[in-house]
Structure 1
Amino acid sequence: MDTQVEILQKLGFSQGLLPFKYLGVPLSTKRVSILQYQPLIDKIMHRVQSWTFRFLSYARRAQLIKSVLFSIQVFWSQVFII
């Protein structure tokens, strides 16, 4: 019996394929394509559109958007090889 198959059976794991998502981040062995960035773009658009700006001035809205988008970009830049 193949050693890898034996280990998988004893530990109760199954063999998967790349790419897959771990903690919402797609993992791949290759460079990330533009299509794989689409979830990031959708997430940013959804977050910005869901905010209610009735109580914020224009300057505060701009600062909020800038800081949130920057933090999302920093996180995804650490995860992906750009």
Structure 2
Amino acid sequence: MKAMVEANVFTGYSVGGANSVVVSHLQFADDTLLIGNKSWANVRALRAGLVLFEAMSGLKVNFHKSSLVGVNINASWLSEAASVLGCKVGKIPFLYLGLPIRGNPRRLLFWEPIVNCIKSRLSGWHSRYLSFGGRLILLKSVLTALPVYALSFFKAPSGEVCGVGCCWLGMAWRMGAGVALRGGGRLLGLEMG
């Protein structure tokens, strides 16, 4: 992809203003996200590049698992381009590396799937079967891994950070991971980072 962009065969997407950066692909292990401007030249170059990759590497591109997603592009053009590429037309939101690729990360709705994932991971655990130390390890591993991963990509609004913290504290409270106070209350003494 890098060679195709440098040779002006494929046009990536320009991000930023005066000091813009051209993004053509993101890769992690066997997941690849190809990003470019809407043009038939890009579609043909992408198809040729992927077929060439298959021939040179001996690996097979799963076109039946691949999707073409457009932002502000009409459906008929996407459908035609997807048929040329031999893939299906996808839509936003979609998942890439387990993270939702969708609208604005500054909106609380964007973070809803991540908070739901945290809640679902915690709902299956029964704290009465875990020691106090086991409870703390569970809380720290489950409730910090997913948000840290997501926050390394997107900046969350303060309201959502509070929502994740409330999940963390609520689970700790239900597990009894605190110090008993007179009057039946509990004081939580855990570090959140």
* TM-score, structure 1 normalization: 0.67
Distance 1:64 1:14, change over 3 A: closer
1:31 equivalent in structure 2: 104
After the TM superposition, which of the residue ranges 68-77 and 58-67 deviates more from structure 2? 58-67
1:1-82 correspondence to structure 2 within 5 Å: 3=40, 4=43, 8-28=82-102, 31-32=104-105, 33-78=107-152, 80-82=153-155
Deviations for 1:1-60, whole angstroms, at most 9, x for unmatched residues? x725575433223554433223442113x5312111111111111111101233322232
Q: Given residue 55 of structure 1, which amino acid in structure 2 is its aligned partner?
A: Y
Runs (5+) with no aligned partner, structure 1: none
Q: Given residue 35 of structure 1, which amino acid in structure 2 is its aligned partner?
A: L
User: Structure 1 or 2: larger helix share?
Assistant: 1
User: Structure 1 or 2: larger strand share?
Assistant: 2
After the TM superposition, which of the residue ranges 10-19 and 39-48 deviates more from structure 2? 10-19
Larger Rg: 2
Quote the sequence identity (%). 33
Give the aligned CA root-mean-square deviation in angstroms: 2.6
Q: Indicate the structure whose relative CO is greater, using CA pairs within 8 Å and at least 6 residues apart.
A: 1
After the TM superposition, which of the residue ranges 33-42 and 49-58 deviates more from structure 2? 49-58
Find the aligned partners of 1:46 and 1:56 in 2 and give their Cα distance: 18
* TM-score, structure 2 normalization: 0.34
Find the aligned partners of 2:99 and 2:135 in 1 and give their Cα distance: 28
Runs (5+) with no aligned partner, structure 2: 1-38, 44-76, 156-193
